[in-house]
């Protein structure tokens, strides 16, 4: 597992915690898909097909270690794994919803500005 050389100190800025969680590749999308009921890794990979399988697997593990996801492994063959949101993960949904609403509200203006910068 990759370990950052300079780990983030969150003691003085709690807002960095959700920002770092949601700004990491695919995390917000994974959280939303799991909230919708897409809980098996193969279904998540199908749903987020633009992301490499290896990256999604890594992100699922990191979200689990952070306490955002809960992993359930069933004792069957072939192996069956399902993910669900923890209480902390469920609380991120409202943050993502607010970000979505903000993006929808300002998307047209943002896209105009981005196009004029080219």
For 5, 76, 78, 82, 113, the CA distances from 73, given in Å and listed in that order, are: 32, 9, 11, 7, 47
Residue 16 in this model has a pLDDT that exceeds 70 = yes
pLDDT in tens, 51-94: 999 999 999 999 999 999 999 999 999 999 999 999 999 999 99
Residue boundaries of the structural domains of the chain: 16-117
Look up the pTM and report it.
Answer: 0.84
Q: Are 10 and 87 in contact (CB under 8 A)?
A: no
**CATH of span 16-117:** 1.10.10.10
């Amino acid at each position: 597992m990759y370990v950052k050389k300079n780990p983030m100190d969150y003691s003085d800025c709690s807002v960095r915690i959700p920002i770092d969680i949601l700004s990491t590749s695919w995390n917000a999308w994974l959280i939303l898909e799991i909230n919708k009921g897409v809980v098996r890794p193969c279904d998540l990979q199908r749903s987020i097909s633009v992301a490499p399988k290896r990256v999604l697997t890594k992100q699922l593990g990191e979200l689990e270690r952070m306490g955002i996801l809960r992993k359930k492994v069933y004792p069957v063959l072939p192996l069956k794994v399902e993910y669900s949101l923890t209480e902390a993960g469920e609380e991120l949904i409202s943050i993502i919803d607010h970000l979505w609403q903000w993006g929808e509200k300002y998307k047209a203006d943002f896209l105009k500005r981005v196009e004029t910068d080219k």
